[in-house]
Amino acid sequence: MGFTEAAPGSVMIEMGGTMVLCTATVEEKTPPWMVGKGGWVTAEYAMLPGSSSPRIRRDHYQKGRAKEISRLIGRSLRAVVNLKAMGDCSIRVDCDVIQADGGTRTAAITGGWLAMIEALAWAASRGIANAEAGFDQVAAISVGMVEGEVLLDLDYRDDHAADVDLNVVMAGRGLLVEVQGTAEGALFDRADLDRMLDLAEKGISELFSVQRQALGQ
């Protein structure tokens, strides 16, 4: 935490080889659809060109995918914030992938939550926002099936070999925020889904502990 000082929230999260810098900034205005109704939280996700090998072209090549992930992160963070009670401001969480080795979107959610909480506390200390609006933790993890076996937090190598890829976003009370499962190589049945969800739940409860430690709780 506090990796940089320019933004009120700044977290460098590392999971395996994956490194994501999450910075959260605060603006004292809200988008048109929330004016007079509360605050807003949004996210932007991008990969640095040198974060992966071969190098990723800046701008061009994966815009649609990056926007899809940006929306996922934004939805996940908003799910644990009481927007109405938050105050008339917006928090924008930028998640820039410094190094990619699988699970960048889930690392961005887990780290982005920490940056958002930092920014919310910063804004509360200035009387702009209500820190209580962040009512729960949120974290995410990827699970996969490789040759019939269920694996947690796939790195890049496993990710490409996986038959099924499941991203799970959970809130602190064991509730589901988002479930995205995709058959990559082989289809999966309901029993597979259950086994993957069980494993994800365990992994996420560990992430919750790490988040609380980072906040000194």
Site stretch for a second copy (CB under 8 A), options 5-13, 103-111, 140-148, 205-213: 5-13
Helix (H), strand (E) at residue 46: strand 40-47
Residue 123's alpha-carbon distances to 6, 23, 85, 127, 217, in angstroms, are 14, 14, 14, 6, 20
Q: Degrees (nearest 5) of the Cα angle 137, 140, 144?
A: 155
Question: By CB under 8 A, is residue 32 in contact with a second copy?
Answer: no
Site stretch for a second copy (CB under 8 A), options 33-41, 94-102, 124-132, 208-216: 94-102
Do 30 and 39 touch, CB atoms closer than 8 A?
Answer: yes
Question: By CB under 8 A, is residue 4 in contact with a second copy?
Answer: yes
In degrees and rounded to multiples of 5, residue 20 shows phi and psi of -130, 125
Question: By CB under 8 A, is residue 67 in contact with a second copy?
Answer: yes
Q: Which of 13, 23, 38, 141 contacts a second copy by CB under 8 A?
A: 23
In the complex, the smallest distance separating the C-beta of residue 217 from a second copy, rounded to whole angstroms, is 21
Question: By CB under 8 A, is residue 197 in contact with a second copy?
Answer: yes
Q: Given its phi and psi angles, is residue 34 left (phi above 0), alpha (psi -120 to 50 degrees) or beta?
A: alpha
In degrees and rounded to multiples of 5, residue 181 shows phi and psi of -115, 135
Q: 40-47 and 90-99: which strand pairing?
A: parallel
Question: By CB under 8 A, is residue 44 in contact with a second copy?
Answer: yes
Question: By CB under 8 A, is residue 211 in contact with a second copy?
Answer: no
Question: By CB under 8 A, is residue 5 in contact with a second copy?
Answer: yes
Q: Given the structure tokens 């000082």, which residue do they identify?
A: 5
Question: By CB under 8 A, is residue 182 in contact with a second copy?
Answer: yes
Question: By CB under 8 A, is residue 215 in contact with a second copy?
Answer: no
Provide the binding-site residues for a second copy, judged by CB under 8 A. 3-7, 10, 17, 19, 21, 23-25, 27, 44, 46, 48-55, 58-59, 63-65, 67-68, 70-71, 75, 79, 92, 94, 96, 98-101, 171, 173-183, 187-190, 192-193, 197
